[in-house]
Amino acid sequence: MPERPRTPPPIDRPAAPKGWPGGVSTNDDRRFLEGPRRRVEEFFRACRIFGEFIRGFRALHFVGPCVTVFGSARFSEDHPFYDLARQVGRRIAEAGFTTMTGGGPGIMEAANRGARDAGGHSVGCNIVLPMEQEPNPYLDRFVEFKYFFVRKVMLVKYSHAFVVLPGGYGTLDELFEALTLVQTRKISSFPIILMGCDYWRPMMEFISARMTQVGTISPEDPSLITFTDSPEEALQVIHDAYARGRHEPPPKPSRLLREPDLPQQPHPTFDRAD
């Protein structure tokens, strides 16, 4: 199937902090994390955080159900991990899910590109940083967040699974937060799939052997992670988990509220487990 034209996606971007061109600054974040401030300053910051949640809800409430793919932005198009992520994005789209990523290059671009190859929906959720990355050209919607924790909530809230390819600190951050939420039963029927087995094997050996041996996790906790290099196996795990869940009919956007929508695509349908 020929690729659709590389048209820039609509960008939902947070308001620009005063005195910073383009709206990208970490000064406010630093002040937020450096201890208590004046009450009025903390109040208005809380209002900005609330506003970012509302903006995220409006942008993402009607794009799902999603599967989120994580991984490094540093892999080029000719890298095997890029090709693997593209295959995964294609499979996700063929199954009727929206592919969600951080919206940048590397693994993120590959997964979004794979979704577009299959004619599926493709969404990017970026975090604003001083060294701003441009959205990749394979997105139907691109949303930027200023606060890490708001972005994390959105990724979990609108995802039915995480597929994690090789990445750095940010990828590990998302991985272990999701594991913690599943382990503590804050979320259920939420597959966490590691792909790129050779890359992850030392970490998995540490989790399976050392952490269980010392007793810092329960013996069954390593089973919360699926470890595979097969896109087919990964999607089967997602299928099975989705079929076990109970899903309300997807909400419809309100024209009165001018809520954004994406073109219709088939909703995932699977036989429910008994």
Domain boundaries, the chain: 64-120+157-244
At residue 77's C-alpha, the angle toward residues 73 and 82, to 5°, is: 65
Torsion angle of C-alpha atoms 222, 224, 225, 228, degrees rounded to 10? 110
CATH class as words, domain 64-120+157-244:
alpha beta
Of the listed ranges 6-15, 104-113, 177-186, the least confidently predicted one is: 6-15
Tokens 């671009």 identify what position?
A: 109
**pLDDT band at residue 127 under the 50/70/90 scheme:** confident
């991990």: which residue's tokens? 81
pTM (2 d.p.): 0.83
Q: How confident is the model at residue 244 (pLDDT cuts 50, 70, 90)?
A: confident
Residue 207: what are its φ and ψ, rounded to 5°?
-65, -50
| Structure token digits, residue 94 | 């063929």
Mean pLDDT across the stretch 235-250?
Answer: 84
